[in-house]
Structure 1
Amino acid sequence: MSIPSHSTSYNNDQKCVRNNDSETAYLMLKIAMERYQCSHQELQKEQQVEVLNQAFKLKQLNNTILASSQADNVQVPEKEIEATLKQIIERYETVTEFEQAISQHGISRMSFKELLADELKVNAVLETISKDIEVTDAEVAEYYQNNQSAFLQPETRKVRHILITINEEFPENSRLDSLLRLSLIANEVSGDLEKFKHFAMTKSECPTALNEGLVGTVPVGQLYPELDEQLFSMEENSLSEVIETELGFHLVWCEGIYPERLIPLTEVEQEVKSHLQQKKQAAFQRQWIAQQVRDKKSANH
């Protein structure tokens, strides 16, 4: 990707951006933060050139959108601009730190607010021109049928848990004492869920003790491998053997088994509809922008 023809060299471009063109500097900062999570001044030279070219293109695109007839009817409330600016400033320790940060890129606070307002207006224009895009029930059903693997819910199990940790600095939590304590609890619990809940609340050293040892409903891979191996080989409403992990010794209770299932369309219909609507809106916006660019070129000839 080459630097735009109006720039004689990379260094001259950077000087121009720093001194005269707040909009390009603003867009470069935005692009660099979104893509690389740092300012463009921290990037390698090749990356800076790429960001600079993208900023020029985005600037032209934004100006085309803001010059459209649709933009004439869109206003961004001052309250929204101020709220968005406040959110950005709050990422810094102080307002002064924010102002110093943007001034390093040749942007004053007033310019930053104006450029932010333009960005919000561009977004508002795109939302306005695509707000009437609809998704039919047939489109939702077709997407669901063609992507059923995305709606497969793996087998899960409802599990409760008791933990006795190992800490050789405390006699009662030495490895042997911890193992003995939990073995006695397992013997007391036997096959009684209510007893398990009681011991979880009174003896477990896991935060789940606050909820009678309830971990929740989990798929394979969410717990320690040693716990997974036991849990997913157990019968419903059964107690495990004592299990050792790096944390200590555990007992788990398998309270429920929920086999893999295909989530019904009725449960994901709104999610699918929202996903498709966003895709259709984005496609419409791209077509609309392309038409604005063509119209602008025609008007210039």
Structure 2
Amino acid sequence: MVEAVDPYLLLNAAAQLFGKAPSELDEAQWQEAVALAGKESLLQARILESREADGIGVTQEELDEALAGLRAAYDSHTAFLEDLLKNGMNESTLTSAVEEKLRVEKIMQVVAEAVTVSDADVEAFYLANPDKFTHDELREARHILITINTQFPENRRKAVRARLKKIAGELQGRPGSFADLALKHSECPTALEGGVLGKLPQGKLYAELDRMLFAMGEGEDSAIIESPIGMHILRCERIHPAGIVPLKEAADSIRDHLLQSRRSSAQKQWIRSLFASE
């Protein structure tokens, strides 16, 4: 099973293909891992020899950080060294391999960063894909939750309902106090944000809450509702009718999508160009 192949690349290929170390592979798996490592070795060499690689280096800090991350997976430095030896490496060869890998990643990033997306590109995508920017009716909501737990007297069903009735009375007396009362009384993590559940389409909440929320008017507080996790009071803060997401709101996500897609394409095209003369 001995092949002239970079042990670091072979280790990565075996993990990528089979989730195993090279020593754990059978003959067929070994040959497949060797083939992949060979392709990666050739690709890496072409990238490092490219014009774009000029002036691209790795700092000692970056290299030390990457190596520290690898060592952190082991209980001891001895175990780390033993595993290196088992996979045909030592600290020196690993350091060289990791440095090359980091250089390759930086070069690929340089290629990607040459790609830009203009405001006109964003607008053109928005206008060409109207179906991607429609939304169903959305409702902004808050809630106050008290959980039901028979182990605690104050959280038994009857006590929970009584506590929420008292809170409902306070809401009637102080209509603008929902956020403060959620912070004070709610047992949901959203209490820290005044009970905010966000901007919700139908079907995101428990069925009991969902039905109530989408039957409420804007600015309305619900009666006490029981769900599988406890009892709630809901507030429908705002209703957003079904419609089209404005370009201003969609622009950032469109730009990110176009950048990711175009940068990936640019990298693939650039790699193909490295082998164009063959």
Q: What's the TM-score once normalised by structure 2's chain length? A: 0.80
Residue 61 to residue 228, structure 1, CA distance change in 2 (3 Å): same
Match status 1:288 vs 2:273:
no
Equivalences for residues 112-151 of structure 1 within 5 A: 112-129=94-111, 131-151=113-133
Q: Distance in 1 between matches of 2:47 and 2:193?
A: 55
Identity, in percent, stands at 34
Report the counterpart of residue 62 of structure 1 in structure 2: 44
Per the TM alignment, residue 234 of structure 1 is displaced from its structure 2 partner at its CA by: 1.3
Q: Which letter does structure 2 place at the counterpart of 1:264?
A: P
Q: Distance in 1 between matches of 2:95 and 2:208?
A: 55
Find 1:242's aligned residue among 191, 208, 224.
Answer: 224
Match status 1:180 vs 2:162:
yes
Residue pair 2:17, 2:33 contacting (<8 A) in 1 also: no
Residue pair 1:65, 1:125 contacting (<8 A) in 2 also: yes
Per the TM alignment, residue 229 of structure 1 is displaced from its structure 2 partner at its CA by: 2.1
Equivalences for residues 224-243 of structure 1 within 5 A: 224-243=206-225
Residue pair 1:190, 1:239 contacting (<8 A) in 2 also: no
Equivalences for residues 177-216 of structure 1 within 5 A: 177-190=159-172, 192-216=174-198
Segments of 5+ residues of structure 2 without an aligned counterpart are none
Q: Which letter does structure 1 place at the counterpart of 2:93?
A: S
Q: Which letter does structure 1 place at the counterpart of 2:231?
A: F
Instruction: After superposition, give the CA deviation of every residue in 1:136-166 in whole Å (9 maximum; x if it has no partner).
Output: 4443333222333333455432222222222
Q: Which letter does structure 2 place at the counterpart of 1:205?
A: E
Match status 1:26 vs 2:8:
yes
Per the TM alignment, residue 76 of structure 1 is displaced from its structure 2 partner at its CA by: 2.7
Residue pair 2:217, 2:236 contacting (<8 A) in 1 also: yes
Match status 1:218 vs 2:200:
yes
Instruction: After superposition, give the CA deviation of every residue in 1:53-106 in whole Å (9 maximum; x if it has no partner).
Output: 222211111122223344344333333222333344345555445444444322
Q: Distance in 1 between matches of 2:67 and 2:254?
A: 33
Residue 125 to residue 156, structure 1, CA distance change in 2 (3 Å): same
Give the 3-state SS of the residue equivalent to 2:275 in structure 1: helix
Task: State the superposition RMSD in angstroms.
Answer: 3.3
Per the TM alignment, residue 236 of structure 1 is displaced from its structure 2 partner at its CA by: 0.9
Per the TM alignment, residue 237 of structure 1 is displaced from its structure 2 partner at its CA by: 1.0
Report the counterpart of residue 9 of structure 1 in structure 2: none
Give the 3-state SS of the residue equivalent to 1:76 in structure 2: coil
Residue pair 1:191, 1:238 contacting (<8 A) in 2 also: no
Give the 3-state SS of the residue equivalent to 1:276 in structure 2: helix
Match status 1:89 vs 2:71:
yes
Segments of 5+ residues of structure 1 without an aligned counterpart are 1-11
Q: Distance in 2 between matches of 1:161 and 1:62?
A: 55
Q: Distance in 1 between matches of 2:32 and 2:129?
A: 36
Q: Which letter does structure 1 place at the counterpart of 2:200?
A: V
Q: Distance in 2 between matches of 1:209 and 1:109?
A: 51
Report the counterpart of residue 256 of structure 1 in structure 2: 238
Q: Distance in 2 between matches of 1:205 and 1:67?
A: 60
- How many equivalent residue pairs? 278
Q: Distance in 2 between matches of 1:73 and 1:34?
A: 30
Per the TM alignment, residue 126 of structure 1 is displaced from its structure 2 partner at its CA by: 3.2
Residue pair 1:241, 1:251 contacting (<8 A) in 2 also: yes
Q: Distance in 1 between matches of 2:207 and 2:25?
A: 41
